Structure 1
Amino acid sequence: MKWTREDYIELMTFGNVERQMFVELFGPLIGLEEEWKGQGASQDQMNMIGFDFDYVPKINCGGDTFRRGGLKPTVLEETHEYIIHMDDLGRTMKLCKGKATIPLPLDYPVKDMDSWLKVKSMYQFSEDRINWDAVEAAKNAQKNGVLVRADIPGGFDEARELMGEEELCLSYYTQPELMYDIIDTISQTAYQVLDRVSDHVVIDNLSVHEDMAGKSGPLIGPNIITKFIKPYYRSVWDMLSSKGTKIFSQDSDGDMNSVIDSFLDCGVNVMYPAEPAAGMDIVKLRKKYGDRLAFKGGIDKHILRSSKDAILKELEYKMQPLMKGGGMVFGLDHRIPNGTPLENYIYYINTSREILGLPPLDGQRKGWERMAF
């Protein structure tokens, strides 16, 4: 079912909840579609539209806050197993065919202030970062119920793109001036772009991608977040929220429990995908944070490869009445894993819809859009 921006904002800000929202955040992992095809899946099922997922139509606000320019990407080597190319930052990137959709860096351009200054211009503000035709299109779409979004680079994630995790985590302590300059440059550009855009259209959802944690916890702690990332987040969020922005969502896998309070203090009010395998229990977190923090996801994707009894137990726990009072978009905690039987997935869909009080599938209602934003 297609939602309007108004209904989605109402849901995510713990307003009046007339209907629960049930989605697929990311879709299947590479290879699952072929597995399902062999199990008799229809084309609509393989394309995800056959399950009548909820979604809200969305549009970018028209402002670009990410790095621009740089080198022209060039393929360096390609085999039947992988592609190696040089990207805009000059990094050597490797993509394993049939296994991944995102290439991994084999090297990084920034090690110190001198090397940062060589790429800094890619992150600095210029007026042509704003496409005023796109801003006007967003303003018109918003009138028809479309959610207007703005993405900003992650305070951790973009620095990781420049330096790699190890060098980055060390540099907070060994090169603080460098880290301040990187994040301040990103912050100033994001602020200047979105300040201009938000004078013409209300940005409904500010979104940031961090992916800064694993099963053992986040790669940086509360002190680093407060010292380096909070000034950036708060600068952009305080300005936008004063102009009507209601949602500030953060995407990070892994165990974020120890830094949730820090990010709430930064202005974040929605987190996803809330991975149970990493210790993210949305029920316990709802009891702890109440209406201060909304979630998307939170249902254990791995349980789909188990028994139907296990699936039912997971759904009855995650979809209990406590979680139906707003601030919750129900869905898997990341991509549907390979090895998930189609029969189990259909059981998961039908059972979820029943527990949430949604109409059963009838084959006529179709729809799906990624809700990872």
Structure 2
Amino acid sequence: MNQRERFLNTMRFKSVDRVPFYIGGPWATTLKRWHSEGLPENVDLNRLFDADGVVELGIYFGMCPAFERTVLEEDDAFVVYINHEGIKMREKKTDPETSMPDFLEFPVKNREDYHKLKWRFRLNAQQRITEEWKKRARFYNENSNLPIRMFADREGGFFGPLRNLMGLENLVLTFYDDPVLIEEMMDDKAELIIAIVDEILKYTKIDFFAFWEDMAYNHGSLISPQMVRKFMLPRYRKVTDFLRSKGIDLIFVDSDGDISELIPIWLEAGINGVWPLEVQSGMDVVKLRQEYPELRMIGGIDKKVLAKDERAIREEILRKVPPLIEKGGYIPDVDHSIPPDVPLKNYLYYLKCLRSVIEKGSC
């Protein structure tokens, strides 16, 4: 059974030789630590640890053309600039991934602002889908035994991408102050997602699609379920109906935080998979499986446990992985990027134990 067959059968609750072996992804600062502890540099971790993977097609679902990066201010420690999304940001110059930037100003404050840049949200196929991308897509479509994923990272959704345009506070107020604008932006986003996927399918198959939202924190959704149902559900449904009409039946959403109250709405909207299922936000994959027998899940292994000891790591794996892989529809993985407080020896033990459970049922 190759990796594509293994992934698809797992996600369709069919029999497999074993579930996919995913190894998580470390922050750059984590990798730096691991290199100092003996991990070889300049190696592909999936190959090094003989892990399963996916082909990520890597199409941008945002503005095309995007904004040009423009530096406004700079000193030894910080840089203030306009990023590709038109956001004015203040960011550390050293290790920016380890801290949140300051978001100083967003490009859309009202309807007039949106209409000024709406032209950027068009297919623009020649610029968005390059000849080099087409060549790569055709190669993987014809030669790869990996599942092909289309992850619309940061721009393929109906809350997260709008937050990138307006900022959180202005966005949530606009749901009340100008709901017509919210609907217009969501309709435009749905049309763009459909147009991009339709174009992509001329060059390659897609095994699964993933929305991006990041619309929850550790106590629940950033907007009420009623708002999600009223504004977002119809647009999700428009996209998921289109995807299924093209034979794409595995449809995920990526959102951090406590997504408990969002899952039933997503299921109703035609989304049947979620990741990364953050433990620190109360997401428990064992309980979710009991509540939603047909929900596809990837993740749910507490990244913080990897910083403890072998016993804690083993207990985390054994509580969750054996019962869930037996039922199907679940691929174990850490619930976010692996932080730098995780020593290499703990990570190696995690991989050893996880592989043993996946292949033999015990650790």
Q: TM-score, normalised by structure 1?
A: 0.86
Partner of 1:303: 305
Counterpart pick for 1:32 among 30, 33, 41: 30
Q: Is the 8 A contact 1:57 1:147 kept in 2?
A: yes
Whether 1:262 and 2:262 are equivalent positions in the alignment is no
Tell me how far apart the structure 1 counterparts of residues 44 and 191 of structure 2 sit (CA, whole Å): 43
Does the residue aligned with 2:205 lie in a helix, a strand or coil?
coil
* CA gap 1:136/1:44 in 2 versus in 1, 3 angstroms: closer
Aligned to 2:17: 18
- How many Å apart are 1:340 and its aligned residue? 1.0
Q: Does 1:225 align with 2:225?
A: no
Give SS of 2:254's match. Answer: strand
RMSD across aligned C-alpha pairs, in angstroms?
A: 2.7
- Secondary structure (helix, strand or coil) at the match of 1:31 reads helix
| Residue of structure 2 in register with 1:245 after alignment | 248
- Checking the alignment, whether the CA contact within 8 Å between 1:295 and 1:329 is kept in structure 2 is yes
Aligned-residue offset at 1:99: 4.2
Cα displacement (A) at 1:300: 0.4
Is 1:77 paired with 2:73?
A: yes
Q: How far off its partner does 1:129 sit?
A: 6.1
Residue in 1 that maps onto 2:137:
138
Stretches of structure 2 that go unaligned for 5 or more consecutive residues are none
Shift of 1:18: 1.7
Deviation at 1:70, TM superposition (A): 4.6
Asked if structure 2 preserves the Cα contact closer than 8 Å seen for 1:169 and 1:220, the reply is yes
Sequence identity, in percent?
Answer: 32
Mapping for residues 1-373 of structure 1, pairs under 5 Å: 3-25=2-24, 27-43=25-41, 49-60=47-58, 65-96=61-92, 97-100=94-97, 103-128=101-126, 131=129, 133=131, 134-135=133-134, 138-144=137-143, 145-152=145-152, 153-198=156-201, 201-291=204-294, 293-357=295-359
For residue 268 of structure 1, what is the amino acid of its counterpart? I
Deviation of residue 247 (structure 1)?
Answer: 1.4
- In terms of mean alpha carbon deviation, does 71-80 or 115-124 score higher? 71-80
Cα contact 2:19–2:325 (8 A) shared by 1 = no
The 3 A distance-change label for structure 1 pair 130 and 46 is: closer
- Whether the 8 Å CA contact 2:6–2:19 is kept in 1: the answer is no
- How far apart in 1 are the matches of 2:341 and 2:199? 47
Equivalent residue, structure 2, for 1:367: none
SS in 2 for 1:43: coil
Any idea what SS the aligned residue of 2:293 has? Answer: helix
Is the CA contact 2:6–2:20 (under 8 Å) kept in the aligned structure 1?
no
- State whether residues 56 and 151 of structure 2, in contact with CA within 8 Å, keep that contact through their aligned partners in structure 1: no
Question: Residues of 2 paired with 1:171 and 1:255: CA distance?
Answer: 23
Work out whether residues 3 and 56 of structure 1, in 8 Å CA contact, stay in contact via their aligned partners in 2.
Answer: no
Contact 2:303 2:334 in 1 (8 A): yes
d(CA) in 2 for partners of 1:288, 1:89: 38
**d(CA) in 2 for partners of 1:233, 1:81:** 42
TM-score, length-normalised on structure 2?
0.88
Cα separation, 2, equivalents of 1:351 and 1:36: 19
| Residue type of the alignment partner of 1:244 | G
